[in-house]
Amino acid sequence: MDGNGRWACARGLPRAAGHRRGADAVRRAVRAAPALKITILTLYAFSSDNWRRPPGEVAALLCLFRDYLQSERSRLRQSGVRLSVMGRRDRLTVDLIEAIEACEADTAEGTVLHLRVAIDYSGRDAILRAAESLPLGFEPTRDTFRERLALTCGAGAAADVDLLIRTGGERRLSDFLLWESAYAELCFLPCPWPDFRASDLAAAVAEFRTRQRRFGALAPERSALEMA
Ligand code: FPP
């Protein structure tokens, strides 16, 4: 969800105002996802490297996450959205941890959409923590390691990423879901996150559906031809 800061600066507003408008874009995306048959939506809200930002911006972001979880809790529950927060919790504020726990508990039965919010998340750290947690002598397979990763980073369920959208014009992964994105289709959009609309999500999904996913194999028609 990149581009909040630039969106605000372009309007002469403080960066925190861009993050607040970013929270409105989050609400729009969450509302739009089920109709697009999205069953898991993961939002990268705060990376473990974002602690390097000025303390005022970090504090504003943590308050915004808390406020979002508190204000959206019953709406999420009513719409069948299950919320999980991925990432480290030991560096978060007590009020944010409480808001996370309350929202996760309240929405645990949701089956329409699994909304995962990554806070103090690092893809590389998640892989390290999963590896460290393996019992001595245990030889993981891709599947058992994926399960372990989901468990240790709080993902709720092991799932590969199908479509990865990054707004704000940057074209990099920035330590997001590195293992899970091995075969993700990438979509880089120039629009800053606060301007992201349901129609942008729909367009990205429509484009995704046109992509041919081969996962390293041949396209079906080509492999049939070569067998003949
Ligand atoms: C990166 O763009 C964005 C962030 C570090 C914060 C993302 C947070 C939100 C969208 C707030 C709402 C989130 C939830 C879950 C309620 P940037 O601000 O660094 O953009 P820039 O590259 O233009 O400076």
Which of 120, 79, 215 lies closest to 129, judged by CA?
120
The pLDDT value recorded for residue 226 is 67
Q: 0.75 cut: is pTM over it? A: yes
Given 50, 162, 175, 195, the catalytic residue: 50
In whole numbers, what is the pLDDT of the chain averaged over residues? 96
Given 2, 4, 120, 200, the catalytic residue: 2
% the chain with pLDDT above 70:
97
> Rounded to whole angstroms, what are the CA distances from 149 to 40, 81, 95, 146, 181?
17, 22, 26, 5, 13
% the chain with pLDDT above 90:
93
Task: Read off the pLDDT band of 5 (50, 70, 90).
Answer: very high
The pLDDT value recorded for residue 222 is 72
Angle at 121 between CA 117 and CA 125, to 5 degrees: 145
SS3 letters for the chain?
Answer: CCCHHHHHHCCCCCHHHHHHHHHHHHHHHHHHCHHHCCCEEEEEEEEHHHHHCCHHHHHHHHHHHHHHHHHHHHHHHHCCEEEEEECCCCCCCHHHHHHHHHHHHHHCCCCCEEEEEEEEECHHHHHHHHHHCCCCCCCCCHHHHHHHHHHHHCCCCCCCCCEEEECCCCCCCCCCCCCCCCCCEEEECCCCHHHCCHHHHHHHHHHHHHCCCCCCCCCHHHHHHHHC
C-alpha 181 to ligand 1 mean position (Å):
21
The pLDDT value recorded for residue 228 is 60
Atom of ligand 1 nearest to the CA of 43: 15
C-alpha 113 to ligand 1 mean position (Å):
22
Annotated active-site residue 2? The verdict is yes
Residue 96, ligand 1, Cβ within 6 A: no
Residue 219 predicted with pLDDT over 90: no
Which of 83, 115, 120, 193 best tests ligand 1's pocket when mutated (most atoms within 8 Å of CB)?
Answer: 193
The residue-averaged pLDDT of 202-213 equals: 97
The residue-averaged pLDDT of 105-114 equals: 98
Residue 62, ligand 1, Cβ within 6 A: no
User: pLDDT tens for residues 36-85?
Assistant: 999 999 999 999 999 999 999 999 999 999 999 999 999 999 999 999 99
